[in-house]
Structure 1
Amino acid sequence: MKIPEQRFKIVVIGGSAGSFSVVSRILSQLDPAFPLPVVLCLHRLKHVRSGLVEGLNMKSNIPVVEPYDKDKLRPGVAMLAPSNYHLFVEFDSTISLSTEEVNNHSRPSIDYAFSSAAYSFREKAMGIILTGANKDGAMGIKNIHEKKGYTIVQDPSTCDVDAMPQAALKLFTPDQILKPDDIVKILNGLKA
């Protein structure tokens, strides 16, 4: 495990099956003074108010919110893609929400969140893909890699369901493949 020396403007985390517990663990160990905006794109039930934000806030050291369209990214705040909306990160550091068709059977699409961060922030974006049951996110995190951003894939041996990390690993070689506790160490070593 190696802390990257480059500086970032955004961290985007995507996950599906099994990711709630990993994201909870990461957020609960994150430095309360974490200096960067975080975007969380997690697959969730479409028409059910799941209590996901409340559940994450109970454990998180930084605030977790569901953004509205055109909300601005804020350092030290995690923005969770709302249920049944795609989330895009814009060049002006705002969030756009969309109800376009599903992508990879998913809305929100992790690919869309990652790819928009890649195009908006290029080498200043960090993408982290976690446990999950389909290939959503693999192309998106590859886009971050292609734009010289930093990419982390959860070690498949630590995943509840390893399909999502394995799909990413078939497409490219990330900067690091890490266990959740090492992902936290990387994040807590970042500077804005």
Structure 2
Amino acid sequence: MSFKIVVIGTSLGGFSALKTVLVNLPNDFQAPIAIVQHRHKESNKTLKELLQEHTDLPVREVEDKDEIVPGQIYLAPADYHLLVEPGYFTLSIDEPVSYARPSIDVLFESAADVYGERVIGVILTGANQDGKQGLKKVKALGGMTIVQEPTTAESSIMPGAAISAVAVDWILSLSEIAPLLVNLCHSIRN
């Protein structure tokens, strides 16, 4: 079974955490990666450019109805929820969830609904509890769950909340996450 999508959620401290994960992914990484990084709604597009400096994989901010393509990194735009549909993304301006838009829960729950056991959910550093419900759904529908070891996070609240809510498959330091993703996404193909 191959994984259809990797979803990553992060908040406070997320840029440096994402940098560490992305820099360690090979340029032939197959699975698409969708990222919710909490940021201010006035935030400009610099996150995309900054992340692109640390990976050979193409990074893009999602536009409504973008096709989900393997080997691409997709960022939720500031102030929009990012949802997974079969084969494409949609954007929503529904109310914030856990005080956040984009919400990690919204991304993770929609990915789990569409791809079930073919989803890998990753929670990184963050200062609120967004993501724990979404990770719970990924796990409930048979997907893989990875959480950054809270003691290694800039803010341990988000990973700690996820660990307390979900029987997580892996709790890892940042440097261990990319090698595991490569192993999961490249070792089993069909």
Query: Letter of the aligned partner of 1:88 in structure 2?
Result: L
**Residues 36-79 of structure 1: CA distance to partner in whole angstroms, max 9, x if unpaired?**
11001110111131510000001112111011101111111000
- Identity fraction in percent: 41
**1:10 Cα deviation from its structure 2 partner:** 0.5
State the distance in 1 between where 2:145 and 2:2 align: 13
**Residues 95-123 of structure 1: CA distance to partner in whole angstroms, max 9, x if unpaired?**
01011111111000000000000110000
Question: Is 1:18 aligned with 2:13?
Answer: yes
Q: Which residue in 2 is equivalent to 1:69? A: 64
Query: Letter of the aligned partner of 1:150 in structure 2?
Result: M
4+ long deviations beyond 4 Å: none
Structure 2 SS opposite 1:116: helix
Structure 2 SS opposite 1:23: helix
Query: Letter of the aligned partner of 1:109 in structure 2?
Result: S
> Please, what TM-score do these two structures have when normalized by structure 2?
0.95
Instruction: Find the partner of 1:44 among 39, 50, 56.
Output: 39
State the distance in 1 between where 2:19 and 2:4 align: 22
State the distance in 2 between where 1:47 and 1:172 align: 33
Structure 1 SS opposite 2:12: coil
CA RMSD of aligned residues (A): 1.0
Residues matched between the structures, number: 186
Query: Letter of the aligned partner of 1:77 in structure 2?
Result: Q
Contact 1:29 1:61 in 2 (8 A): no
1:1-192 aligned at under 5 Å gives the runs 6-90=1-85, 92-189=86-183, 190-191=185-186
Which sections of structure 2, spanning at least 5 residues, go unmatched? none
Contact 2:135 2:166 in 1 (8 A): no
